[in-house]
Amino acid sequence: MIVLGVDPGTAVTGYGVVRRDTGAPSLVECGIIRTHPKDPLPDRLCAIHDGIAELIERHKPDSLAIEDVFYARNVRTTIVLGHARGVVLLCGAKAGLEISEYTPAEIKKAVCGTGGATKEQVQFMVGSLLRLKSPPRPADAADGVAAALAHALSAVTGRKLAAAAIIQRETDTLGVLAAALGR
């Protein structure tokens, strides 16, 4: 499974591409898409779109994991962030990707064990989980990788839980059959 994780922003959008087939996840690529602060918003959104579309084309991910909206003190900041998220979601939808949205606290909890982790703790744990020599930098790139990791780790856990449920159902069925035959 290949997951593209995105931490959207109109100034800096962080991303990470993580592969997880069996065993430990591995980092394929991470980085940022930086827009020019003086450019009009539509031009910045086009740059984000082009960058995400290019990543999807190059890596052919199965899933897109994106950080959900947090509510900033400044309403304008929240609205502009929503525009960036919309562009990323559109890219994923047009590519037919499975899209999962995670709150910042859910990502931090999946990667660090606590939803209140600092950016430095997230960077450290991302580096540790992926066995990197140094944590991804800048922090926006590490956040994109963390989103991808959160999804990759939860997808594997979800598959294990589904398999356990199937095994339990089969065991229950065998128990009922054994009881019926024993009568």
Catalytic positions: 7, 67, 140
CA distances from 140 to 33, 82, 99 (A): 10, 17, 20
CA distances from 61 to 55, 123, 134, 138, 161 (A): 9, 22, 24, 22, 23
Which runs of E-coded beta strand occur in the chain?
A: 2-7, 12-19, 26-34, 63-67, 98-102
Report the distance separating Cα 48 and Cα 55, nearest Å. Answer: 11
Q: What is the DSSP letter of 6?
A: E
Number of C-alpha atoms within 13 angstroms, CB side, residue 74? 4
Give 94's strand partners.
none
Report the distance separating Cα 149 and Cα 49, nearest Å. Answer: 22
